Structures are given as structure tokens and as C-alpha cells.
Amino acid sequence: MTAPTESSADPESLRRRALETLTTARARTTLLTSCVEDPDLTAQHSPLMSPLVWDLAHIGNQEELWLLRAVGGGDPMRPEIDSLYDAFEHPRSERPTLPLLPPAEARAYAAEVRGRVLDLLEKTDFHGTRLTEAGFAFGMIAQHEQQHDETMLITHQLRKGPQVLTAPDPGPATAFTGPAEVLIPGGEFTMGTDSEPWALDNERPAHRREVAAFHLDTTPVTNGAYLRFIEDGGYDEPRWWHPAGWTHIRQHAIRAPQFWQNDGGQWLRRRFGVTEVVPPDEPVVHVCWYEADAYARWAGRRLPTEAEWEKAARHDPATGTSRRYPWGDATPSPEHANLGQRHLRPAPAGSYPAGESPHGVRQLIGDVWEWTASDFLPYPGFRAFPYKEYSEVFYGPEHKILRGGSFAVDEVACRGTFRNWDYPIRRQIFSGFRTARSEAV
């Protein structure tokens, strides 16, 4: 299946796609908020994260604001709660002190909003305004809910206590025997998009970008490879580290990826309430940008730039065009990538040959978010839409770009142009990386 472009979709196809993506997101939200008792919903499991019950009501509130009010022209349902669920008005550390809706009331509110939204969806004309064109507002809200579902999954990973979430492991993969790196030829390619109907503002506009030839890891860096960096004293050698990163790891006594511990010479990790031996063949996860950068320096390499990453993921050298995904324009399937919380861990490095790019790079979509060398900056000609607080207020050198999505990302919020960003110290996110090197001249 290929998603419709902005100009090709008929209203009924858009309606079906909007309904499917909204329903998928809500099923996941329900799972993440029904698998624990109310005390775990109202508790703050980390000062970096909101209580789960805040995310639940925030999802409903944003859906009401953008669909029932902005698209449907309706009156506010609960105007007194708008400020409680404004992410810019209250930082996460303060949210447990707010008079939040209790779990039962938050569920009822989100359900009532969704019921009205489904009625609105049946009668919406997908033309006339930028919000409604090609169903953009419905797609934006589905992506917003899935992004908060990933945030809630991070909260579950930070939560102490027994396992409450389960999922099958990725299917067994044969040991990857392909090349360690591939050459991405130099030249121009089209970065960003003008045609992806639900692309967010920071993915736009499409523009030409020149990239010099470079070599890129065929797969993400694995736990086994990262362990060699640890065992070689990587966390004790300042020459590998960005100065701010060296200061950070010393101040916080960081010696390994988050959730790892050394038990009598054996490395273990905690994953959603289960302690297990670190699997050497999986992509490393829960490392910050400084750790990724230090590893790359230690390995005699570097992190790829955002443009390099996107060229490797989208450029088709046979046609000169840019694809939606590494494998083409078809919507992701389980054969292409590890997405959608189908599994609760990355798949072994080298998995998903059907998702390989034309250049032979694997797992560019799914498994782990991949840190790049680039700051989060606007593309030439960027225009904020529909509000500055989604992207524009975050632009600058304080945030580093991540690409590709993780096992916690749904396909509606993941594509070859999708841009994620975070502070370079963040490790609770499902972040990994791959390395690059410039072509010798």
C-alpha cells in the first residue's frame, strides 16, 4: 500500500486512512494506560517525564483543540483544563503538582472527544484550508498521539517494578555477513518534501542538497561493538569526548548506556521490568549524543550529518529521485522494519533485508533512533505551520537531530523525511546510532 499524495487522494480514501490511524493510536494509548493501576498512572516515574495520566488527558485536549475547535468550529468542552495540559505552560517536573484529571475522568474526557471527532470525520470536506487539505489535521493528531505513546513507553521503561508490558521478540535473524559499510556516492539529491500529505512543518520544503561521497555503516552500532569501546576505557579517555560531554559523564558518573549494569563481569540491562544479559547482536540503545560521538571518534569515524543520513535512506541512484522510505514508497510492513511497538526491543543488526536501501544500508527505519552530527535547524524556505511551538521554538544548536525512528514509533510518525530532535544529554529515549567516514580524496 502506498499513502496518497496531497493531490491524488479521494475523500473516502482520506477518511479511511484518518480513521485507521486514529484508531490504531487510541488502541495503543489504551494499552499503555490500562496495564498499570491508578497509582502508577498518577505517579511521576522520572522528573524527565510526565505522569502517564497527564499524557492521557493531554492527548484528548490536543485532539479537541485542533479537530473539534479548529476544524469543526466547536465550543470548548472543558476550557478550564486547557492551561493544565499546555506543554509549554508547565514543565514536566511540575505536572504532578497540578490539579490533573484523575484517571477515570481523563479516560472519559478522551473518549468523549474521540466520539465527537469520529462524527466530525464523517462530514469533513478535505479541501479549502491548509488544516483540512488532504486530511492534514487528522494526520497531525494521529502523529501527536503516537508520539505521546512513545513518550509513555519511555515512562514505562523508567518505571520501577515488575513487568507489565509484553510483546513477542523479533523473529530469529541469521548472522549478518554483508559488508560493514557501504559507499554513498557524492552529488545532489532532494531533501525534505513538498508532496507527503501529513509531513510536519520541519520536513518542508523539498530542496536540493549537495552531499560529498561518504561511507556509512551498513547496520546500527551493536551492543557488542559498544562494549569493546567500554572495555577499551572509552569512558576514561577525554580525547574521545566533546568537552561538554566529558564534563557531563564525569559529573553524573556515567560508565555505560542507561539501564546497563556490570554484575561480576557480566553486563546486564533492565528492559521494561526484566533484567537480562545484554544481547551483543542488537543495536545499542539508550545512549546520548555525547556517547555516540565519543564512540565514533574512538572508532576513527564520525556521526553522519542529517543530509548524509537522508541521502542514504531516500536517494535512488537508478532514477535520481528520493523515495518515501529506503525500500520505496510503500507503507511499512513487518517485513520492512521494526515499528509500532510490535516488539519491545530492537531486532538483531542486519535484520529486515526487505527494508534495505538501494545502496544496501539496513535498518534505517525502525529499531533505534539514530543520532546525527547535525543541529536542529530549519530548511531554506521553512514556514511554521500550524503553530510555532511544534518546531520553530526548538531550532538552534541546543538540540541534535535524530533520524529513522525506533521500535516504539508507529509508521504514521515515521518516514524518510521525519525529523526528531533532543538535547545531546538525553538517554532515556530509544536512541542509538551508526557511524560514517568521508571518502578519501
Residue at 364: amino acid letter: L
Extract the C-alpha cell encoding 283. Answer: 543495536
pLDDT of residue 3 exceeding 70, the answer is no
CA distance 334 to 239: 41
User: What is the number of residues in the chain?
Assistant: 441
CA distance 277 to 269: 6
Relative orientation angle of helices 103-123 and 11-34, to the nearest 10 degrees: 170
- Given a contact cutoff of 8 angstroms between Cβ atoms, the answer to whether 67 and 138 are in contact is yes
Rg of the chain in Å (alpha carbons):
21
Q: Which helix (H) or strand (E) holds 373?
A: strand 369-376
Question: Is 184 exposed, middle or buried, given 0-12, 13-18 or 19+ CB atoms closer than 10 A?
Answer: buried
Task: Write down the pLDDT at residue 6.
Answer: 45
pLDDT of residue 5 exceeding 80, the answer is no
Extract the C-alpha cell encoding 141. Answer: 493528531
Q: Peptide bond before 103: cis, by omega within 30 degrees of 0?
A: no
Per-residue pLDDT of 59-115, as tens digits, reads 999 999 999 999 999 999 999 999 999 999 999 999 999 999 999 999 999 999 999
Read off the DSSP letter of residue 269.
E
Task: Write down the pLDDT at residue 141.
Answer: 98
CA distance 217 to 130: 39
Task: Write down the pLDDT at residue 8.
Answer: 53
Other beta carbons within 10 angstroms of residue 68's beta carbon come to 19
- Spell out the alpha helix ranges (H) of 288-354: 289-298, 306-314
Q: Which helix (H) or strand (E) holds 359?
A: none
Share of the chain above pLDDT 90, in %: 95
pTM (2 decimals)?
0.96
Q: What is the mean pLDDT of the chain?
A: 96
CA distance 19 to 142: 9
Task: Write down the pLDDT at residue 441.
Answer: 58
- Spell out the alpha helix ranges (H) of 125-252: 136-158, 223-231, 243-251
Other beta carbons within 10 angstroms of residue 389's beta carbon come to 11
Task: Tell me what the mean pLDDT of segment 304-316 comes to.
Answer: 98
Nearest to 335 by CA among 347, 323, 321: 347
In degrees to the nearest 10, what's the CA dihedral of 241, 243, 244, 248? 60
State the pairing for strand pair 369-376/431-432.
parallel
Per-residue pLDDT of 268-294, as tens digits, reads 999 999 999 999 999 999 999 999 999
User: From residue 73, how far is each of 64, 161, 391, 405 by CA, in Å?
Assistant: 10, 44, 25, 34
Other beta carbons within 10 angstroms of residue 250's beta carbon come to 13
